[in-house]
């Protein structure tokens, strides 16, 4: 039995199938950081925010990594993105990245694109294949080779001899079912097969991972044996599409501030006191 499960944890931890991973991480960030820090008016925390934001365009995570409070990181991230100097630094860095495909951020983006666009069927697929009777002569049992048919005929002769010895009636004697040679399991089921009703047999097929295309190697997340069978993991395409949309500017972050009842009551009381003070002064 085969099991098919997707996982994106390895991808988020950076375990992508990129040959340039180890060297480009250092040189890519060094290039970004030096270019950005050449810009005036950015504090150390703001520079760190820009550097982290360029990794995955997640303002909340970037704010936390830059040293801002985890409790207010979401609001701080949204506020930092509205800063003119920070927005300019981010835009400049994106333009520089577009011109330098050898640095890590671009390599990661190429991996994300490959994951988002790759077809999972190239790694794991469910197939309907023909049964032994689909394409046999008169829909009789079809053999792969002459050797297989010879073995089946020898076993049939033994059963026939035992049946005759037991004095089985002639009309109940076993018959040798011969639909000819040439059975190929990967053929589609015959739509009028009387044995399988055109459904054939269902089978999970796992491709040879040594021969995957570059795009499928990016999608492939590993394989392991479990007590239930073989488990194949691939990186989640929906997560890759989300990251890709963020980089293309097709997905905007929405910041929502939730005010709890207690805080709302305190704010209302403060407004009331202000209003009372204004009336008393007049």
- Provide the Cα torsion 204, 209, 213, 215; round to 10°: 80
Please name the residue ranges forming H helices in the chain: 9-12, 21-37, 44-56, 59-65, 73-81, 84-99, 104-117, 146-165, 214-219, 237-247, 261-281
Whether 63 contacts 69, CB under 8 Å: no
Average pLDDT over residues 199-209: 90
- For 244, how many CA atoms within 13 A lie in the half-sphere containing its CB? 15
In the three-class reduction of DSSP (H, G, I as helix; E, B as strand; rest coil), residue 125 is classed as strand
Give percent above pLDDT 90 in the chain. Answer: 36
Q: Rounded to the nearest 5°, which phi and psi values hold at 38?
A: -75, -15
Q: Hey, what are 270's tokens?
A: 């403060």
Residue 220: beta bridge partners?
234
Q: What is residue 173's DSSP assignment? A: S
pLDDT of residue 193: 94
pLDDT of residue 244: 81
Quick: pLDDT tens for 43-69: 989 999 999 998 889 999 999 999 999
Average pLDDT over residues 155-168: 92
Name 136's Cβ contacts closer than 8 Å, sequence gap at least 6. Answer: 142, 179, 180, 183
pTM of the predicted model, to two decimals?
0.45
Quick: pLDDT tens for 91-133: 888 887 766 644 566 777 788 888 888 888 999 999 999 999 9
Better pLDDT: 31 or 256: 256
pLDDT of residue 252: 65
Residue 18 predicted with pLDDT over 70: no
Average pLDDT over residues 182-186: 92
Q: How far apart are CA 256 and CA 266, in angstroms?
A: 20
Residue 272 predicted with pLDDT over 70: yes
Domain boundaries, the chain: 2-123+214-247, 125-206
Name 277's Cβ contacts closer than 8 Å, sequence gap at least 6. Answer: none
Average pLDDT over residues 213-228: 88
Q: What is the mean pLDDT of the chain?
A: 79
pLDDT of residue 40: 52
pLDDT of residue 133: 95
Task: State the pLDDT confidence band at 196, using cuts at 50, 70 and 90.
Answer: very high
Average pLDDT over residues 224-232: 87
């Amino acid at each position: 039995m085969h099991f098919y499960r997707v996982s994106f944890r390895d991808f988020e931890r950076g375990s992508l199938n990129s040959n340039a991973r180890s060297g480009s991480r250092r040189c890519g960030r060094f290039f970004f950081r030096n270019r950005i820090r050449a810009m005036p008016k950015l504090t150390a925390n703001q520079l760190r925010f820009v550097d982290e934001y360029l990794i995955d365009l997640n303002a909340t995570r970037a704010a936390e990594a830059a040293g801002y409070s985890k409790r207010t990181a979401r609001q701080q991230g949204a506020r930092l993105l509205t800063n003119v100097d920070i927005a300019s630094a981010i835009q400049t860095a994106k333009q520089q990245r577009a011109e330098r495909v050898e640095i890590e951020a671009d390599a990661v983006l190429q991996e994300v694109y490959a994951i988002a666009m790759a077809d999972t069927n190239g790694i794991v697929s469910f197939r309907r294949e023909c049964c032994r009777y689909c394409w046999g002569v008169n829909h009789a049992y079809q053999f792969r080779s002459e050797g297989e048919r010879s073995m089946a005929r020898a076993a049939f002769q033994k059963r026939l001899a035992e049946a005759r010895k037991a004095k089985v009636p002639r009309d109940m004697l076993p018959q040798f079912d011969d639909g000819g040679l040439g059975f190929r399991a990967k053929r589609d089921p015959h739509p009028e097969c009387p044995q399988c009703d055109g459904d054939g047999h269902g089978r999970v097929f796992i491709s040879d991972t040594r021969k995957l295309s570059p795009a499928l190697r990016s999608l492939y997340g590993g394989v392991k044996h479990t007590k239930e069978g073989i488990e194949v993991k691939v990186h989640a395409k929906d997560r890759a599409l989300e990251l890709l949309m963020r980089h293309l500017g097709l997905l905007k972050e929405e910041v929502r501030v939730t005010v709890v009842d207690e805080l709302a009551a305190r704010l209302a009381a403060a407004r009331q006191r202000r209003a009372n003070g204004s009336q008393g002064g007049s």
